[in-house]
Amino acid sequence: MAKSYDVRRLPGFGAIAVLTFILLYLPILVLVVFSFNAGPSQSEWDGFSLQWYVAAFGNQQVQDVSIRSLWLAAVAAGMATALAVPAALATTRVSRFPGQTMIYALINQPLMVPEIVTGIALLIVVAWVKVNTGYSGMAYLVLAHTAFCIPFAYLPIRARLETLDPTLETAAADLYANPWQAFRYITLPLLVPGIAAGFMLGFVISLDTVVITEFVKSAGQDTLPTYMLGQLRRVITPEMNAIATLFLALSLLFVTAFFLITRKRG
Amino acid sequence: MATPPDSATGPEPDPQKESHGWKWLLSTPALLVLLVAASGPLMIVAVYSFLSPGNVGGVEWDFSGDGWFRVFFSRDIFDPENVSWNWANLNVFWRTISLSLQTTLICAVLGFPTAWFIATRPPERRALWLFLITIPFWTNLLIRTFAIQELLRGNGLINTILVATGIVDEPLQLLFSNFAILLGMAYVFLPLMVLPLYAAMDKLDFRLVEAGYDLYASRVRVLWHVILPLVKPGFVAGSILVFIPSIGAYVTPRVLGGGRTMMLGNLIALQFGQGRNWPLGAALAMVLLIIVMAALVFYLRAVNGEEGKRRG
Amino acid sequence: MKKTLVSTLALLASAGIAHADGVLNIYNWGNYTSPEMIEQFTADTGIEVTITDFDSNETALARVRQGGHGFDIVVPTHSYVPIWIEEGLLQPLDPEIVTDRGNIAPQWVDVDFDPGREYTVPWQWGTTGIAVNTSVYDGDINTADIIFNPPEALDGRINVIPEMSDVMAIAIYAAGGDDVCTDDMDVLRATRDMLMEAKPHWLSLDYGTIDNYVAGDILAGVYWNGATMRARLQNPDVAYGYPATGYPVWMDNAAVLADAENVENAMIFINYILQPEHAAMLSDFARYGNGIAGSEEFMDPEMAAAPEISIPEELVSAGRFNPTCPQEVQDIRTQIWTELLQ
């Protein structure tokens, strides 16, 4: 077969992709550089110093809120993904049924409403439950974040599911696999990229969720974003840049680990 | 909600679509969580939009249509008899929709080639590139937004480069403009476009693309008639994921727009905060919800209709 | 040496109170509570402190009103204090434990928002005025004209903090109004027109601008005194002016919540920050005045002498507390503000 083109190449796409990556990393670069600034400014370079890292490590509150943010993001994204997979199975590649649009709208509802509205709504409900039960632990934040992350986990999984070849499952059924086996051994492995994308989106979204957390949190439940929001009116020091850089280092650690594992398998 | 006539299946039952009656039950756990933590509380907002503002925030439990009235109409501050369209609010609506559409467009233009680039890497490298897209988002939204502010300021990196290369004579006022808001929102929401696009492309059957080229179709024609329809679900998902949060954006316009111009999210926040008029804020939120619902239904119809055409 | 002495004294002072051990939950503005002072408080009393942040008076009020919050101490701004008191959200200070209200500087004792300081004690106070870069502007800095009728040199380089009540106050005073909550339509109309005409000359309405003042991106603006001082310490050209027509004075106040769980610890904390050496620590961190007599001698000397803290004699009377306006007036003010920002 005479190939006139490399089917995977589209002219200019590589250049745009590279440009996109540069644009993505430019602000991050600035942030990392100024986390090592000797002065308090985020625009004037005063020489190299680790003082903001020392400050961040010396600040118990900063450490607490950072760890709480990461924990909350992992739990909420995990739960949201676990809920989104069956929801995607239920609403994709099935003949239309009454109420399908309704379900679709419900799932995507947290996307459609600005955080401030969900925040106020949750404040009223959550405060009522807190007063009546006396419980004021992290469950409220986990629940609120999970709900908020569901559509972000759902959409990539659904998109992946829609591109899957349904005859694979039919084939499995023909081979006497029950629906669970068909899902476990055929659909689920094929869904993994969608699930990974969904989990990462959920994680990132949870890390950024600020207004909802602000209204739902109880005493001692500040996350990194609400801690920063509280500073917005005053002054944001390069200490924040130092923490951001540490978060980046952490994610790089993940990437490296992930990369090494996948390479070993290959 | 009424279900539209099923155009996708046509007269013959579609063998590719199961009609297991129990399958929708799989969505109940997610729906339950959403009902408790999202939709249920939202009903309260709907109710609040018909109440009277309380003293310094909150509500009084007296029915009032004033919140809704004020969304669209305004009494002249200095001549209460004179009622007119509330152009202040309508301007904010229009700016919000326009900026959100532009953000979606920018994300699509940058995100499609980027997702394509990732999807065409060797399979073992794709996860790495995917991670590279999300890494900047491991830093907090506020920090990222402030970093963009540093780039755009008068003596920031971009202006320094522009002046040094002689493209401009003196630093441009980039910060605190619609341009800055657009740039910031595109930056923030880009992975929401790239990830679903990638998920769809990853599964793309390249034999179809090859077939297109074998039939002597040009690259543009293959892109338009073969690739785009195949990755359309990813595009739709990405566009929804970008467009809708853009409509409710709050932090980015506040920091990069310099607060000079409001988007709908800021207007709603103002009513719940310093404005202390919760019913008006609630009504504005409901308006936002209705706009977004309409957009979503429009999207869904478009996708389902398209699928029906392709199958038929 | 002095420090050891002070902490020993504090220890002695608190030793009289039994069962002081335990926890305390403070609900305060972000980045506003000196970590050094908290550390010392824990060392002195054995009480573990948790600080949770809020970002606006409205959020704090909405949050506590709904109940189930778990906070013991809150730090609202003066204009909100009467609402907190009226709605029964605060409890009176316990005279058995809070024994040192006499340390409050005389002018801050009989304040309108809490006469006789029955519920609150000063945390930090400050003013909202005009920050100007004097390298490009050499005129009078004590005038609101810099913002509302800016000279050529400052045109397009002005930032106004998006605090409706502060900005409306300076504008209403500048437009000839006497009362911030005026319902005099002529004054409000003049205020609106003045703001609408001024807005095209502004660059932004933003908070986080210390860097912008330092870098010279912003040459003038409505700003807080403490923030202006931070900018001046990095760029000596930045000066702070007090509009002669009138400017807002504000004070954030610590109070104990009615449904606090650790009431005794909260009262101990309130008395703790009434000590001049502890109030000085708050000021050194937040860079505002604290309203406690005698705290100056413990403060960073740079702070004690700062022009942003000591108001020129002839301009003291122009400074006024913003009350909380009635809802009808507030509605009009919000409408003007929305028109301004549309």
CB contact under 8 A, C217 and B259: no
| For residue B305, pLDDT beyond 70 | no
Q: Given pLDDT bands bounded at 50, 70 and 90, which one contains residue C245?
A: very high
Same domain, C139 and C117: no
Residue B194: is its pLDDT beyond 50? yes
pLDDT at A193: 78
Chain C residues lying within 8 Å of A60, measured CB to CB? 35
CA-based nearest distance A185→chain B, Å: 18
- Give me Rg for the CA atoms of chain A: 23
What range defines the domain where residue B120 resides? 93-263
Chain B residues with beta carbon closer than 8 angstroms to that of A162: 200, 233
For residue C208, what pLDDT is reported?
66
Residue to substitute from B62, B77, B280, interface C, most C β-carbons within 10 A? B77
Q: Does C328 touch chain B (CB under 8 A)?
A: no
**Does B274 contact C56 at a Cβ distance shorter than 8 Å?**
yes
B186 has pLDDT over 90: yes
Whether C166 and C86 map to the same domain: the answer is: no
Tell me the per-residue pLDDT of C216-244, one tens digit each, with 9 for 90 and over.
888 999 999 998 998 898 899 999 999 99
CA B74 to chain centre: 29
What is the number of domains present in chain C? Answer: 2
Note down the domain range covering C211. 126-249+311-341
Alpha-helix residue ranges (DSSP H) falling in chain C: 2-15, 35-45, 57-65, 81-86, 145-148, 164-174, 185-198, 210-215, 225-234, 263-273, 276-286, 301-304, 327-341
- From B40's Cα to the closest Cα of chain A, the distance in A is 9
Say whether C234 and A41 touch across the interface (CB within 8 A). yes
Question: What CATH number is associated with residue C74?
Answer: 3.40.190.10
Q: Given this model, what pLDDT does residue C86 score?
A: 92
How high is the pLDDT of residue A259?
Answer: 63
* CB contact residues (below 8 A), chain C span 90-129, against chain A: none
Question: Does the beta carbon of B30 lie under 8 angstroms from any beta carbon of chain A?
Answer: yes
Specify whether C224 is located in the same domain as C300.
no
Residue-by-residue pLDDT tens, chain A, 266 positions: 444 456 667 778 889 999 999 989 998 888 888 889 887 776 678 889 998 899 888 888 888 898 999 999 999 999 999 999 999 988 877 766 777 778 877 888 887 777 777 887 888 788 778 878 878 889 999 999 999 999 989 988 888 888 777 777 778 778 887 878 888 888 888 888 788 878 887 888 898 888 889 888 888 888 988 887 777 666 667 788 888 888 888 777 776 776 666 555 44
Is the C-alpha dihedral spanning A51, A57, A61, A62 positive or negative? positive
Q: Does some domain include residue B226?
A: yes
Q: Domain for residue B163, yes or no? A: yes
* CATH number of the domain encompassing residue B256: 1.10.3720.10
Q: Is the pLDDT of residue C4 over 70?
A: no
Q: Among A129, A219, A226, select the one facing C50 at the smallest CB separation.
A: A219
In this prediction, residues B211-232 reach a mean pLDDT of 76
What percent of chain C is modeled with pLDDT above 90?
61
Q: Cα dist. A222→A202, A219, A252, C96, C170 in Å?
A: 19, 8, 25, 33, 34
Would residue B22 count as lying in a domain?
A: no
Q: What structural domains and CATH numbers belong to chain A?
A: 61-234 (1.10.3720.10)
Q: Are residues C152 and C194 in the same domain?
A: yes
pLDDT of residue A262: 55
Torsion angle of alpha carbons B139, B131, A77, B28, nearest 10°? 140
Question: Does B273 touch chain C if contact means CB atoms closer than 8 Å?
Answer: yes
The answer on C235 and C197 residing in a single domain is yes
C110 pLDDT more than 70? yes
Average pLDDT, chain B: 81
Segment C175-216, tens digit of pLDDT: 999 888 988 899 999 999 999 999 999 988 877 678 788 888
Q: What is the arithmetic mean of pLDDT over C77-87?
A: 92
Residue B311 has what pLDDT?
A: 45
* Segment of A25-39, A187-201, B151-165, C279-293 carrying the highest mean pLDDT: C279-293
Comparing B138 with A106, which gets the higher pLDDT?
A: A106
Put simply, the answer to whether C334 touches B258 (Cβ < 8 Å) is no
Higher per-residue confidence, B2 vs C108 = C108
Of B259, B267, B273, the CB nearest to C205: B259
Question: What angle, rounded to 10 degrees, do the helices at B178-201 and B123-134 form?
Answer: 160
Predicted pLDDT of residue B4: 41
Answer yes or no: do B154 and C216 touch at CB < 8 A.
Answer: yes
Domain membership flag for residue B64: no
Report yes or no: B44 at the A interface, CB cutoff 8 Å.
Answer: yes
Residues C32 and C69 occupy one common structural domain: yes
Residue A140: name the closest of B27, C63, B188, C260 by CA: C63
Phi-psi domain of C118 (left: phi exceeds 0; alpha: psi -120 through 50; beta: other): alpha
- Whether residues A115 and B37 touch (CB distance < 8 A) is answered with no
**Is residue C266 over pLDDT 90?**
yes
Euclidean distance between the first and final Cα of chain A, in Å? 30
Query: Do residues C326 and C201 share a domain?
Result: yes
Q: What is the pLDDT of residues C130-174, one digit of tens each?
A: 999 999 999 999 999 999 999 999 998 999 988 888 999 999 999
Task: Inspect the interface and report whether the beta carbons of B113 and A10 lie closer than 8 Å.
Answer: yes
Give the confidence band of B227 by pLDDT, cuts at 50, 70, 90. Answer: confident
The domain tally of chain B equals 1
> What number of residues does chain A have?
266
Residue C127 has pLDDT above 90, yes or no: yes
- Residues from chain C that touch A221, judged by Cβ atoms under 8 A, are 52
- Quick one: pLDDT band at residue B13, thresholds 50, 70, 90? very low
Q: How far is CA B95 from the centre of its chain?
A: 14
Query: Do C7 and C102 lie in a common domain?
Result: yes
Nearest by CB: C334 against B57, B87, B277: B277
